[in-house]
Chain A
Amino acid sequence: MKRILIALASASLLAGHPAQAAQRTFVASTGNDSNACSLGAPCRLFAAAISKTDPNGEVIVLDSAGYGAVTIAKSVTIIAPPGVYAGVSVGSGDGITVDGAAIDVVLRGLAINGQGGVRGVVFANGATLSIERCIVSNFTTNGIRLESSGAVSIVDSAVLSNGGDGISVNASSLTVQIRRSRIEANVGIGIRVQSAAGVAIADSSVTRSGGGGVELFVTSGFTAKLAIDRSLFADNAFTAVIAYATAPSAVARLDIRRSTVARNGAGILAIATAGSALVGALDNEVTDNAGNGIEANGAGSLVRASGNKVMRNAIGVKQTSSGIVYTPGTNYVRDNTTNDGGHTADTRI
């Protein structure tokens, strides 16, 4: 009896305060949600564990199992260590919703899979969200939907085979970083940005989308920025990289550099029906696209192209409908069906 008491005492020391919220809680396949979510008595689902976790605390996955969809309204980190499968299967509605004013949330190591579910991860309200080592697949619309101001990082993750756009971004004062991630085989557009303070994509790939690869689509009067570095855009059915402005005073500012754009419906396009679509394209490989390699289309469209290799496309470089493609004499444009569909000379400093 004495021994049990001692054991209980030491367990409570290590676990924090079993009856109250703890700085660290645990879930396991063998857990039960009426437990304290301690290491010795883990819970079964994320939702129960989060409710028993202090703000800025951690929920740890002990072994491989499914842990349930959840709405997160406090600052918390969910951690599945490498080697542990932590699934969230979603039959209907959304998988993980982040919805709390000024909260910071980290999702690390989760496999979020749609089984009829609508969206995998939704950033509805919060300060920061970091998605690390996660897989988001098979949802009926967006894999990841970001619609709150704040800052979001998506690192070492994959967004696969969703029915709509892979990643959908629409919040005016939001910054998004996508790094070392794979956006693959989504039925809509790989990454679609309607408004954002800044989106940066590096060391990532967007492939086999049913629509375009990356689209910056600005429909009202503000500036949205998207920058891309060292990434791959291949085998997307429509144009790989688009900056598209459709409203007066809308500015779609897109820069792509050191990237490969190959075997898509078309390569890199600035298009403006109103407002400005501004593209900087530097040091890219733009090859084997069915349509044109680099194109500006519409009076407000403008591309600055330098250091690109543009080969084996329909038209290599094209300016049309008063669009302008500036070239400072540094692009290598050959072996296209038509190499020069119009360009405007430019200088550097």
Chain B
Amino acid sequence: MKRALATICALGAALAAGDAMALAQRTFVASYGGDADPCSVALPCRSFGAAIAQTADNGEIIVIDTAGYGTVSITKSVSIIAPFGIYAGIGVGSGVSGVTVNAAGIRVRLKGLTINGISASSRHGVEILQAASVSVEDCAIANLGQYAVMTASATDVTLSNTTMRGNQGGGARLQLGALTVEGSRVIGNANFGISMDAGKTTVARTLVTANAQGGIHVSTSGSAGTLSVGSTSLVGNGTAGIDIGSSAAGGPARVAIAGNMIVANGSYGVYLANGPGGAVVADVGSNQLIGHSSQGLVTAGGSVSARVSANSVFGNNTGLAQSTGVLYTLGDNYVRDNATNVSGSTADSPL
């Protein structure tokens, strides 16, 4: 009996302290921590890298106080959590990424981090090379040499309430997998705000502004791509608010653009083209398409089909333009006060 008690006590102590031998389900980092410590709440570590090494699969790393915690490579399922009220910084120097996620099948969550490029030749804020899923919540990712969030694997990536600003590559780029951006801000990146090469991208309730190349860009390269954009503001971006397949040979793209504010982007509000590889099938409904120097919306590829309904299209050079492809209008678009209101278009009817 006495022996059993002693064992239980020892076990309890090990669990509470996050024993240095066993991996702990919850580890801690703090400004006053030391990486030789067990990363327990009483003896926290100093850097994310040390804490991850001592964290069990599916465990959590908690930030105790405000400080910088260093770049980190993640190869197990883990959550890194900086609660509200705490600044948890990652300064990113030359040739590295802030957070690198790289192991098959892992699930990673990042909450409350501020990732800042401190070298023009830094890589990405969050670089996803392998993972099942990555969730980025309440983060600010700025000034990186390349992209805020780069996904190069078939990973489900969610960006929620996150700011991506002033990155030299762009905001979020999806090369493969699935990307959801919701309630976020994509501001003043040197390339596109959000770009997709293949996979599925959903953007909702997000601010996409002042990105030099354009707001949202799709150039599918081989496999099919699906894009859905809703309740989002696309204002003052470079060439276009949203452009599809304008530059690349590509597979088919399916596109839904609904309920957005698309205003005063460079030349185009919505530019729909297709590469030689496949068709673009789009519906564009209930958007504001206002103040573009070329077209509010244009179909500019032989294999483009766009169904356009209930949009307000004002103050562009041309409002709705069917250049090549087919632009169907349902009869409920309000298209006025453009230098040319409609150029082409094919009447469509509701059921």
Contact = CB atoms under 8 A, between A and B. Distances in A.
A197 B188 CA distance: 16
User: For B31, B235, B335, which residue has the most chain A Cβ atoms within 10 angstroms?
Assistant: B235
B233 A81 contact: no
B342 A349 contact: yes
A14 interface: yes
Nearest to B264: A198
Given A348-B332, A349-B342, A349-B345, A278 B87 contact: no
A348 B320 CA distance: 12
A168 interface: no
Interface stretch (B113-121, B217-225, B277-285): B113-121
A127 B86 CA distance: 29
Contact of A282 (B46, B116, B209, B334): B334
B233 A58 contact: no
B185 A197 contact: no
Contacts of B231: 230
Secondary structure call for the B interface: strand
A78 to B, nearest CB: 11
A106 B86 contact: no
Which of under 10, 10 to 19, 20 to 34, or 35 or more describes the interface residues of B? 35 or more
Given A278-B337, A348-B332, A57 B118 contact: yes
Contact of A326 (B31, B84, B143, B336): B336
B314 interface: yes
Contacts of B143: 56
B187 A130 contact: yes
Contacts, number: 177
A278 B209 CA distance: 24
A306 B334 contact: yes
Contacts of A153: 185, 187, 207, 209-210
Given A175-B210, A225-B263, A278-B337, A198 B142 contact: no
B163 interface: yes
Interface in B248-275: 261, 263-264
User: For B86, B87, B89, B347, which residue has the most chain A Cβ atoms within 10 angstroms?
Assistant: B87
B213 interface: no
A230 B235 CA distance: 15
A139 B56 CA distance: 53
Q: Lowest 3 A-B CB distances belong to which pairs?
A: A83-B85, A198-B264, A175-B236
Interface of A: 14, 23-24, 26, 39, 54, 56-58, 60, 62, 77, 79, 81-84, 104, 106, 108, 127-128, 130, 132, 151, 153, 155, 175, 177, 179, 197-198, 200, 202, 225, 227, 229-230, 253, 255, 257, 278, 280, 282, 302, 304, 306, 326, 328, 346, 348-349
